[in-house]
Chain A
């Protein structure tokens, strides 16, 4: 049989398809192997191999995470990313920042797009369990409040019946708001916008009577308004919002690094070790816990899989918890309050370095 042109074409196509199929079949075991490390077993190894920590932060919240005029990320949460980078690399610049919205932050971490997220996120039971995360530390104790325009003359959140309230979706804020409204029989109209800039813009334009989020976020938003005095944060705090960095469940080693980075920042403040005096402390601080913290003694860094000088490096390059707080949050008018050291009646308490 003389093959027609069509038959030739068909044969070629079939052969090409077959080749693709064979290559795919051969590549499948390779693909499967590649997928295995993505299940999050060795985050630290992956970070070291890559040469940088990928850290999820807020898309823009004054005091917590915001790019400055040079485009460099700054803020309380950003300093936590930098501190973890110093613990691993002794270099605060080895961080890649990924801005995450309230809605995509969890999938970004679940899918391995980021190694950790420090994005003013509330610790809850369901996030810790069914979302597959670990919250190694609580770096900021917060609560949810309301902000209104001063011209509205509202003095208490109880007066908000019938109001239109701006809120970000996918947050505990959203659920607290409905819980609180039901408990207090308050009717409200929600305006739900994903990006923080746009929800704040809608509030500023008068689309909403009130804006609700964590009090720290309200303070940050208020400070960024053209005239902060035009906005009032109402006295009621309607929820507990313990905020903290979070990592994927299933890699306790990396979770330990994040946890003890936070504890090192707290312990350094408790021991009065600052960026200014850390070199002297390394040279001659005789207190046993200071010696263990700074890596002169005890080999604690090695237990974490890090250099023994990790905590000394963090304090030298980033500062202690108090310094981070003063640098980022004091300028936008946030007091230490519950975030003071336990020795000063606050809730921040580090387990011992030993």
Chain B
């Protein structure tokens, strides 16, 4: 038969034969095995669920998600949405999710910037700069993250108390209660101005694209920046002025035990952010270095031969090729940073793990609590993955 398999006609139309209920029939065997394996998997899941339910019942442990609507009574130090201890557990968990996102999103951006700078510094022809970058990468990558977080937190605690706070500039206070900065008293006008800026950015991107499309047609470069500045800066300013241009400074001041007013960055948040950013930047630096080195030297030489400037070579030739190497491992680092933020629990930053842990402790419903934590991380991680995969396919080499 192996001789006739080469015949294309036979390949197109294999002989039809019925399924024989015999062990000698390959298809029959395959079906049996598959049914068996699916059955075993289903059986294991069924047993796990049944066993858990049975044991919960025997131990009289409450089940279900009814607790979410009950009053939480938890104190939460920092929150992006209004929260009081009289709010529900669902609200408390939402605060936790937002706190996790607050550290993950800002952490990813800062780690990318810092990591890229260090990665480029590592390739510098300046001996001192490249040695410093190499030392940073080796030291940071070799120390456990938890240790680094505790180090940052201890460092924050050695700052002076609020009454002896460091006071470098008017309105700025650094103490072991965190950093207090002047801020403006937020009013509707500011919200609308912010909205205007978002609209302006979108409009600027659309305008830039159409300008580029026109350049493709007639070869005439067009200036984009005047319109972009007008849209991104001018539009919010006009909106702000239209609403009466309110501007009332909110300057922090020491009243009673603590500073009141202004904007504050807590020591817990700062320690977590600093630890995650410096740690992840060490890995990102190596990824960036590897990505740049993966572009053959001939590309540089060819670009130079065409008369391109160094900056344009980097931006137009090297970086697009390096990004193809950089993006996939970078996705892992972003996922790592997000998941590592759960170490917040050790230094008292109230992220989703901290709040869900307390919730499951107060309600005793460990399975539901852990399920919520897993669901949250899965959602965040899958979102990062999807976005990065989309970006990766966008920049991937299009073969023609």
- Give me the interface of A with B, judged by CB distance under 8 Å: 1-2, 14, 17-18, 21-22, 24-25, 28, 31-32, 35, 38-40, 102-103, 106-107, 110, 126-127, 129-132, 160-164, 167, 169-170, 174-175, 177-179, 181-182, 188-195, 198-199, 201-202, 205-207, 209, 248-250
* Contact among A127, A131, A162, A190 for B256, CB-based, below 8 A: A162
For the complex, is B55 an interface residue (Cβ under 8 Å from A)?
yes
With A162-B257, A164-B257, A189-B258 as given contacts, are A21 and B36 in contact (CB-CB < 8 Å)? Answer: yes
* Contact among B37, B59, B268, B350 for A18, CB-based, below 8 A: B37
Q: Using C-beta atoms within 8 Å of the partner chain, give the interface range for chain B.
A: 35 or more
> Are A14 and B361 in contact, CB atoms less than 8 angstroms apart?
no
* Contact among B158, B348, B360 for A193, CB-based, below 8 A: B348
| Bound complex: CA A18 to CA B76 (Å) | 52
User: A2 contacts which chain B residues (CB < 8 A)?
Assistant: 2
User: A250 contacts which chain B residues (CB < 8 A)?
Assistant: 58-60
> Are A25 and B43 in contact, CB atoms less than 8 angstroms apart?
yes
Closest 8 CB pairs of A and B: A131-B364, A170-B361, A190-B75, A178-B85, A130-B62, A193-B348, A205-B157, A132-B59
For the complex, is B396 an interface residue (Cβ under 8 Å from A)?
no
* Contact among A32, A164, A178 for B73, CB-based, below 8 A: A178
* Contact among B29, B86, B157, B354 for A169, CB-based, below 8 A: B354
Q: Which residue of B lies closest to A188 (CB)?
A: B75
9 A-B contacts, Cβ less than 8 Å apart? A18-B37, A38-B55, A107-B366, A126-B364, A162-B257, A170-B362, A179-B85, A192-B350, A249-B60
> Are A35 and B60 in contact, CB atoms less than 8 angstroms apart?
no
User: B86 contacts which chain A residues (CB < 8 A)?
Assistant: 182
> Are A207 and B76 in contact, CB atoms less than 8 angstroms apart?
no
> Are B364 and A130 in contact, CB atoms less than 8 angstroms apart?
yes
For the complex, is B289 an interface residue (Cβ under 8 Å from A)?
no
User: A190 contacts which chain B residues (CB < 8 A)?
Assistant: 75-77
For the complex, is B1 an interface residue (Cβ under 8 Å from A)?
yes
| Bound complex: CA A14 to CA B26 (Å) | 12
User: B76 contacts which chain A residues (CB < 8 A)?
Assistant: 190, 192
* Contact among B56, B75, B161 for A167, CB-based, below 8 A: B75
- Give me the interface of B with A, judged by CB distance under 8 Å: 1-2, 29-30, 33, 36-37, 40, 43-44, 47, 51, 54-56, 58-62, 73-77, 85-86, 157-158, 161, 176-177, 255-258, 260, 267-268, 345-348, 350, 354, 357-358, 360-366
| Bound complex: CA A106 to CA B363 (Å) | 10
Q: How far is the CB of B158 from chain A (nearest CB, A)?
A: 7
With A18-B36, A182-B85, A193-B347 as given contacts, are A39 and B363 in contact (CB-CB < 8 Å)? Answer: no
Q: How far is the CB of A248 from chain B (nearest CB, A)?
A: 6
> Are A25 and B58 in contact, CB atoms less than 8 angstroms apart?
no
Q: Which residue of B lies closest to A249 (CB)?
A: B60
With A35-B55, A130-B364, A178-B85 as given contacts, are A24 and B77 in contact (CB-CB < 8 Å)? Answer: no
